[in-house]
Amino acid sequence: MTEFDLDVLVIGGGPGGYVAAIRAAQLGLRTACVESRDRLGGTCLNVGCIPSKAMLHASELYDAAASGALAKLGMKVTAELDLDTMHAQRRQTVDQLTGGIEFLFKKNKVEWLKGRAAFAGPDSVAIGERIVRARHIVIATGSSHVDLPGVAIDQQIVVDSTGALELPKVPKHLVVIGGGVIGLELGSVWRRLGADVTVVEMLDQVLPGFDGDVRKEAGKIFRKQGFALKLGFKLAALEVTAGAAALTLEPVGGGAAESLTADAVLVAVGRRPNVEGLQLEKAGLSVNARGQIEVDDDLRTSAPNIWAIGDVAPGPMLAHKAEDEGIAVAETIANQRRVIDHRLIPSVVYTSPEIAGVGLTEEAARERGAVKVGRFPILANSRAKANHEPDGFVKVIADADTDEVLGVWCIASVAGTMIAQACQAMEFGALSEDIAYTCHAHPTHSEALKEAAMAVRGQAIHI
Ligand code: NAI
């Protein structure tokens, strides 16, 4: 029996889903959003981007005090960790932001349908006993961590990213399986708070998908900070006994296995789309080999009235990609077609320094054709120098013939903020010359991007 008659039903209240729902409602469409968690905001706000940034920020300040960095700036402080308070401020931030989304739903008249959704047919969804019919259905169910075969997450000793945010005490030795974004961010939190951290990565460098120079330099910086990086190793066995884990690592290229013990193990080997329980087949949908729901340029699935956005659809699994797709799908449904260019979605790792990039890596750009590359070391940037932040560089990759900017990569304390400028320039089809001749305020870290653009033609001033 039809209980609702909606224009748009969004399944999932994360950054993709809640943004799609609000934008659809703004456009005058009668909209509801199904979310089973007791708070809106999805992984990002509840157990992902936001709480990890709250812990990264707090642990960075603690580290500055405990490591003597503040003393070098003329501030003598004694650092004492109060982990309970650090956790409490994280939870408070999450409460405030998730409550904010609930407020925005009310303000925009988006109805929150609490429960889990499963397709009942091509234009209807079951939420418990209720059947909801909608003209358009947007699937925005996000992703979950990937399990390693034979490794059980107990959230005590062996944790996923959610458990790694909640550790009740600082582990003596934290082993992180996976040298990707989650492993390096959460590994940074616990290293700063006093843990020895070993990162086990099966590839020969951390951060797959990032520019080769960036990956190499990032590895050096993390080692300098005290991380032990076991590159080219993968987990062969993990045994948990009372309060400890024994790990056997195998070199990927063959050779003798090595043993490690740890009092906490974080498994961060990627994420997979959430489609279980959705009963996609009842809507005539299926998933591709990677478990994603395929969509066309308009984010439309193979069913004309069903759309998919964010981590459940192809493309980078990033909150801002999901948000942009949320806006695009709502506008397309309202006949204001908008297409998202996946090439211009930035990636940021919120470590210290931050690591960011947009567009092609140098390797991919060279495969495409001749390029010119301008590079500028952060050491030569006056603001970074004044702040005692020597690590990193900015790199601008431009087409050798047209000078069009193809990629920008950046390691700097505020790289995540700096990369926005590169995204905007590339969105406008900028040449490296356009960035080079744009006036940048002095002294700012962003001047390093201008200098890297100038370096494309060998015209940087400060190197
Ligand atoms: P990831 O894909 O970034 O990294 C996983 C790493 O694990 C890879 O380097 C892979 O080579 C390695 N690996 C896989 N199996 C392994 C094994 N058996 N032994 C050793 N190493 C192994 O995945 P991650 O870090 O779990 O993040 C998941 C997703 O969440 C990513 O798509 C990421 O972009 C997103 N995310 C983004 C953040 C940001 O934008 N700052 C923050 C956190 C997550």
Q: What are 149's two structure tokens?
A: 């075969």
Mean pLDDT of the chain: 97
pLDDT, tens digit (0-9, with 9 covering 90-100), for 269-288: 999 999 999 999 999 999 99
201 lines ligand 1 (CB under 6 A): yes
* d(CA 206, ligand 1 centre) in Å: 9
Burial of 182 (0-12, 13-18, 19+ CB in 10 A): buried
* d(CA 331, ligand 1 centre) in Å: 32
369: left (phi over 0), alpha (psi -120 to 50) or beta: left
Calpha distance 231→221 (Å, rounded): 14
Burial of 281 (0-12, 13-18, 19+ CB in 10 A): exposed
Q: Quick check: 198 and 230 in contact, CB under 8 A?
A: yes
**pLDDT of 179 strictly over 70:** yes
Q: Which of 143, 145, 182 to mutate to test the pocket of ligand 1 (most atoms within 8 A of CB)?
A: 182
**What average pLDDT does this structure show over 383-403?**
98
> How far, CA to CA in Å, does 271 sit from each of 268, 291, 293, 460?
8, 11, 15, 41
Predicted confidence at residue 153, as pLDDT, reads 97
Name the pLDDT band for 186 (thresholds 50, 70, 90).
Answer: very high
Calpha distance 156→141 (Å, rounded): 27
**pLDDT of 3 strictly over 80:** no
Predicted confidence at residue 4, as pLDDT, reads 54
175 lines ligand 1 (CB under 6 A): no
Q: What residues have CB less than 8 Å from 77, skipping those under 6 apart?
A: 65, 70, 71
> How far, CA to CA in Å, does 57 sit from each of 61, 194, 450?
7, 15, 28
Domain covering 3-145+272-342, topology: FAD/NAD(P)-binding domain (3.50.50)
234 lines ligand 1 (CB under 6 A): yes
Percentage of the chain modeled with pLDDT above 70: 99
Calculate the CA dihedral of residues 133, 121, 19, 182 and round it to 10 degrees: 150
**Tokens 């210290």 found at:** 352
Domain boundaries, the chain: 3-145+272-342, 158-269, 353-455
**pLDDT of 200 strictly over 60:** yes
Question: 188-191: which pairs have CB atoms within 8 A and are 24 or more residues apart?
Answer: 188/56, 188/59, 188/225, 188/351, 188/352, 189/52, 189/55, 189/56, 189/59, 189/164, 190/59, 190/164, 190/264, 191/225, 191/226, 191/227
Q: What are 413's two structure tokens?
A: 């304390």
* d(CA 270, ligand 1 centre) in Å: 4
* d(CA 329, ligand 1 centre) in Å: 27
Predicted confidence at residue 243, as pLDDT, reads 85
Q: Quick check: 160 and 176 in contact, CB under 8 A?
A: no
* d(CA 18, ligand 1 centre) in Å: 25
Name the pLDDT band for 97 (thresholds 50, 70, 90).
Answer: very high
Calpha distance 300→304 (Å, rounded): 7
Positions marked active-site = 442
- Rg, the chain, Cα only: 23
Calpha distance 36→11 (Å, rounded): 10
Strand 124-127 relative to strand 158-159, pairing: unpaired
Predicted confidence at residue 1, as pLDDT, reads 43
Superfamily holding 158-269:
FAD/NAD(P)-binding domain (3.50.50.60)
Q: What residues have CB less than 8 Å from 386, skipping those under 6 apart?
A: 443
3-state class of 45 per DSSP? helix
Q: Which of 56, 258, 269, 352 to mutate to test the pocket of ligand 1 (most atoms within 8 A of CB)?
A: 269
416 lines ligand 1 (CB under 6 A): no
Of the candidates 269, 258, 140, 157, the residue with the CA atom closest to the CA atom of residue 202: 269
Measured CA angle at 14 (ends 11, 15), to 5 deg: 120
356 lines ligand 1 (CB under 6 A): no
DSSP string of 225-276? Answer: TT-EEEETEEEEEEEEETTEEEEEEEETTS---EEEEESEEEE-S-EEE--T
Calpha distance 204→197 (Å, rounded): 18
Return the residue whose CA atom lies nearest to atom 2 of ligand 1.
270
Calpha distance 159→267 (Å, rounded): 6
> How far, CA to CA in Å, does 196 sit from each of 57, 193, 227, 235, 329?
19, 9, 7, 18, 45
Identify the architecture of domain 353-455 in CATH: 2-Layer Sandwich (3.30)
Q: Same CATH fold, 353-455 and 3-145+272-342? A: no
More confident residue, 1 or 108: 108
268 lines ligand 1 (CB under 6 A): yes
160 lines ligand 1 (CB under 6 A): no
- Neighbouring-strand partners of residue 111: 32
Predicted confidence at residue 432, as pLDDT, reads 98
**pLDDT of 262 strictly over 70:** yes
